[in-house]
Chains A and B, each alone.
Chain A
């Protein structure tokens, strides 16, 4: 299996621009998670989906952030407008199900720099 795929791997943009991060989960996985990692705050859960439906978005920082999952093999995280404090590594992770023994697999991440 190819694992969780994220694109782009690196993104540099200017403040105010729209940023779209993409994720393809592992085939057959029902859960998809978006995390943000910074030195100050560590790994934070932003939002997650179960069977393409957003379940918990309480970690989304503000209205500038939005996430969609139009089908089982694709999800996007959008920031509009972007700000320098959004600079971080964004990870997507997927999980086969909500069973007790299921565990998450992470993608390689997208390093976002907002100038």
Chain B
């Protein structure tokens, strides 16, 4: 099956610092997604990327869909305490003529921000 390698596994940073995390795969995906999960909650979508090479921003977050379609990164600039959580990448691929799809998730990056 398809697997995603997400790194780093965890990060401990000071407020105001920039953060970078990435995902790589041996498989090609049609879409890359980045989610954030806070304690006791389900993952919440942050950014969706649909085309190879696409660079998309959402406030202080920036993500890119790798040219090879096998990787993606997420950057967070000027981190704040509420950025704390687990960040997941997910790759989506379509099958069955395009009407069906699956998401494969990375293992997550635990981000801790020290005020």
- Give Cα A101–Cα B32 distance, bound, in whole angstroms: 11
A33 to B100, CA, bound (A): 12
Q: A56 and B50: CB pair below 8 A? A: no
**Complex interface residues of chain A between 47 and 82 (CB less than 8 A to chain B):** 48, 50, 55-56
Quick check: B42 and A4 within 8 Å, CB to CB? yes
B13-49 interface code vs A (CB 8 A; 1 in, 0 out): 0000000000000000011010100001111110010
**A23 CB, min distance to chain B CBs, angstroms:** 11
A56 touches B48 (CB 8 A): no
Q: A4-B42, A109-B42 are in contact. Are A98 and B48 (CB under 8 A)?
A: no
Q: Which residue of B lies closest to A50 (CB)?
A: B100
**Total CB contacts across the A-B interface at under 8 A:** 51
Contact of A101 with B100 in the complex, beta carbons under 8 Å: no
Return A76 CB to nearest CB of chain B, in Å: 18
Whether, in the assembled complex, B103 has its beta carbon less than 8 Å from a beta carbon of chain A, the answer is yes
Those of B48-91 within 8 Å (CB) of chain A: 48, 50, 88
Determine if A98 and B101 form an interchain contact, defined as CB atoms under 8 angstroms apart: yes
| B98 at the binding interface (Cβ < 8 Å) | yes
Which A residues, 73 to 115, have Cβ-Cβ distances below 8 Å to chain B?
91, 93, 98, 100-101, 103-109
